[in-house]
Amino acid sequence: MRINKNIETIRNTIDDKMAKLGRQSEHITLVAVTKTHSVEAMETALKAGVSHFGENKVQEAIHKVPLLSVPYEGFHFIGHLQSNKINQLLSLKPYLIHSVDSTYIAQKLHLALGRTNRFQDILIQVNISEEATKSGVSFSNAIQCVEEISRYSTLCIRGLMTIGKLDKPEVSRPLFAKMKALFDEIKGLEIPNVNMDYLSMGMSHDYLIALEEGANMLRIGSAIFGQRAIGGNF
Ligand SMILES: *Cc1c(COP(=O)(O)O)cnc(C)c1O
């Protein structure tokens, strides 16, 4: 029941915020971040109407995703991807990989996809806070990276992803604003094979700030499922 209630509260909060921002018509995708949580908890969220969920570890996803008995629209991969986990990840048919953080991993994905004649939607992760512990291409390299990765014909770049500061939410506001400006700039470049549809930013503690700054895809874990006992690193 708690999960249902939390989802309802978050949805209402998002609707209120969008109405205040005058962006009622814009579609916001809520990705429930289910890492460390049970298959049962995931199914509760799916039954409550969240149709997108995200995991940050391939090893964990490969154990949980095939067990889901409730239909869903999208499994999102949001964690750092290692090349030796690519085939396992692709076997789960991810709807979107948020965390492409180098041309190296993009090339490895392209080769794996090419072997099976598949295509994959991805986001480019930008390390906007420039913290050494976080993955992502640097802000100054982002456009060049998007241009390079756009040449891999099996990959379709659908937008950008970032992680704000794990601090007071306001600390992330200028970073989120910078991401939105970058997103709009790349959109304006009209690079072939690049469709800037999604700006994935905002987590439990800072999603309202992210919405205010232009996010349209939110990744929310603990505000839905409660605090994680273990794991939860990026
Ligand atoms: C865990 C995680 C989230 C969700 O974090 P919460 O603070 O629990 O909402 C979002 N994005 C990524 C990349 C994560 O690893």
CA atoms within 13 A on the CB side of 203: 22
Nearest to residue 63, comparing CAs of 32, 31, 92, 95? Answer: 92
Q: Quick one: which atom of ligand 1 is closest to the CA of 35?
A: 1
The type of residue at 97 is I
Nearest to residue 151, comparing CAs of 205, 109, 99? Answer: 109
**Distances in Å between the alpha carbon of 75 and those of 30, 84, 85, 89, 168?**
12, 20, 16, 10, 29
Model pLDDT, residue 231:
55
Q: Quick one: which atom of ligand 1 is closest to the CA of 56?
A: 15
| Minimal-distance CA residue to ligand 1 atom 12 | 78
CA pair distance 213, 177, nearest whole angstrom: 5
CA pair distance 194, 157, nearest whole angstrom: 5
CA of 117 to the centre of ligand 1 (A): 31
Residue-wise pLDDT for 27-75, tens only, equals 999 999 999 999 999 999 999 999 999 999 999 999 999 999 999 999 9
Residue-wise pLDDT for 126-136, tens only, equals 999 999 889 99
| Minimal-distance CA residue to ligand 1 atom 10 | 219
pTM reported for the whole predicted model: 0.96
Q: Quick one: which atom of ligand 1 is closest to the CA of 233?
A: 15
CA of 166 to the centre of ligand 1 (A): 10
CB 89 within 8 A of CB 78: no
| Minimal-distance CA residue to ligand 1 atom 15 | 234
CA pair distance 71, 74, nearest whole angstrom: 9
Long-range contacts of residues 13-21, Cβ cutoff 8 Å, at least 24 apart = 13/208, 14/207, 14/211, 14/218, 17/208, 17/211, 17/212, 18/211, 21/211, 21/212
Q: Say if domain 2-20+28-200+213-225 classifies as CATH 3.20.20.10.
A: yes
Q: Which residues contact 229 (CB under 8 A, 6 or more apart)?
A: 36
Q: Quick one: which atom of ligand 1 is closest to the CA of 33?
A: 4
Residue-wise pLDDT for 182-223, tens only, equals 999 999 999 999 999 999 999 999 999 999 999 999 999 999
Mutational test site, ligand 1, from 97, 199, 208, 219, max ligand atoms within 8 Å of CB? 219
Q: Quick one: which atom of ligand 1 is closest to the CA of 31?
A: 10
Stretch 133-160: mean pLDDT: 97
| Minimal-distance CA residue to ligand 1 atom 7 | 204
| Minimal-distance CA residue to ligand 1 atom 13 | 78
Cα 53 from chain centre: 9
pLDDT tier, 26 (very low <50, low <70, confident <90, very high otherwise): confident
| Minimal-distance CA residue to ligand 1 atom 14 | 234
Phi, psi angles (nearest 5°) of residue 37: -95, 155
**Nearest-10 Cα torsion for 198, 199, 204, 210:** -140
Nearest to residue 35, comparing CAs of 80, 71, 70? Answer: 80
Lining ligand 1 with CB less than 6 A are 33, 35, 56, 78-79, 163, 203-205, 219-223, 232, 234
Ordered by start, the domain boundaries in the chain are 2-20+28-200+213-225
